[in-house]
Amino acid sequence: METFAVTYVFDKTRQEQMHAATTDQRTTTWLADLVERNIVQCSGPFASGNGGLLIFKSDWTENLNALLLETHSPNPTSSSTPR
């Protein structure tokens, strides 16, 4: 398995999007499930409040992209880079 760093950034002009994505119960449940399955190794917001970082374990980039598409939150700008 490879380790991937995924960053997400919110548009500061869209405060509703930021709030919805960080408080949505479906997103919280999705993330908790991935932590329980040892897919998400670490996650947290940036100190600036405009996004965050998630560290994933995955066999393939395609599998990780499919997991990211499972989220029900507004579609953040994200990129995954193997580490």
Give pLDDT, residue 7: 92
Q: Please, are residues 7 and 79 in contact by the beta-carbon 8 Å criterion?
A: yes
Give pLDDT, residue 31: 85
Rounded CA separation 82/80 (Å): 7
pLDDT tens digit string along 3-47? 999 998 877 777 676 666 666 677 778 888 999 999 999 998 899
Residue 54 banded pLDDT, cuts 50, 70, 90: very high
What's the pTM?
0.67
Rounded CA separation 80/47 (Å): 20
